[in-house]
Amino acid sequence: MAPSTVDQTSRNYLQVAVLIPCFNEEAAITQVVKDFKAALPSADIYVFDNNSTDQTVALALAAGANVSHVPFRGKGNVVRRMFADIEADIFVLVDGDATYHAPSVTMLIQKLIDEQLDMVVGVRQHEEKNAYRPGHEFGNRLLTGCVSSIFGGKFTDMLSGYRVFSRRYVKSFPALAHGFETETELTVHALELRMPYGELITPYGVRPEGSVSKLSTYKDGLRILKTIIKLYATERPLLFYSIVGLVFAVAGTALSIPLAVTYFETGLVPRIPTAILSTGLLLSGVTSFVAGLILQATTLSRREFKRLSYLAIPAIPRDASARDIASIR
């Protein structure tokens, strides 16, 4: 289905698109599509299938969703394709596992409109133990805390897969991640451009019988941590490379002190390899700091370009209303 062109001047409502990335979710996809159709009767429902080997595609089509195929495996690749292909005023991103509370979507959208936000995150609140594995919950808190300490912000559930975005957020998002680390990238993008964002507590349930989580606690947790470090180096290069340079400088200095003591006492440098290593570490420290200075200037230019791209897209009008919310009222 060809994407439609958004023209807010010709209508008095906001077009809403529900984006559902899927991989082998035949046990849940029908319920997800039907629940969001009920919650947002006028919204366009899009399922982006990521090479499922079960009946996900057939069931999504039968439920009335628009289905597209993304050959490159990974949620980040799916998000990149969804954000590029679909046109709307408000975008709802939700996983296809039927764990997120569809009726809450109207509150998420209303918060986005009323407070003139660019992103609202559905913070997961679960009552059943099976809904949220302890390892996932601990990892989420740990990684969310890392992002908050590095980039600022007050997110409490950075890895939530339930989010609502403005058009200017979606169309300015670079989408570089490949897998589940895309939620980290979504969060940092908002923080780095200082976009207005918010959170709203939403119920979180268990997967339907037969549905299996694709998230690996340790493997994907390490990938997310690696992404945080990569974004730290990309978005805070001066601080990052200064720390690296300081480590090199401290190590080089520690190795050079015994050599300096021996030299002043005897006038000899008995350990030439150690002296070479010490000199190399000190030079590496200086080089790292200079690299940070250069990359900082590049980062500021890139951030300014992203900011201009973001500002080039009109914001949601203050007097606008979502057609779906109006119909529910």
Q: What tens digit of pLDDT does each residue of 215-233 get?
A: 666 777 788 888 899 889 9
- 228-284 pLDDT, tens digit per residue, is 998 899 899 999 999 999 999 999 999 888 888 887 878 777 788 888 999 999 999
* Residues 53, 175 share a domain: yes
Domain extent at residue 282: 237-307
Q: What is the pTM of this model?
A: 0.82
d(CA 222, CA 64): 37
The answer to whether the CB of 24 falls within 8 A of the CB of 54 is yes
Going by C-beta distance under 8 Å and a sequence separation of 6 or more, which residues neighbour residue 287? 245
Residue 329 has pLDDT above 80, yes or no: no
Which residue from 192, 17, 172, 173 is spatially nearest to 88, judged by alpha carbons?
17
Residue 9 has pLDDT above 50, yes or no: no
d(CA 208, CA 226): 31
* Residues 199, 302 share a domain: no
* Residues 153, 120 share a domain: yes
Give how many domains the chain has, as a whole number: 2
Q: Across the chain, where does the E strand assignment appear?
A: 16-22, 44-49, 66-69, 90-93, 119-126, 163-166, 197-204
* Residues 263, 230 share a domain: no
| Residue 317 falls inside a structural domain | no
Residue 178 structure tokens: 């490949």
**In 3-state terms, what secondary structure has residue 291?**
helix
* Residues 104, 49 share a domain: yes
- 75-114 pLDDT, tens digit per residue, is 999 999 999 999 999 999 999 999 999 999 999 999 999 9
* Residues 255, 230 share a domain: no
Specify the pLDDT at position 236: 92
| Residue 290 falls inside a structural domain | yes
**In 3-state terms, what secondary structure has residue 134?**
helix
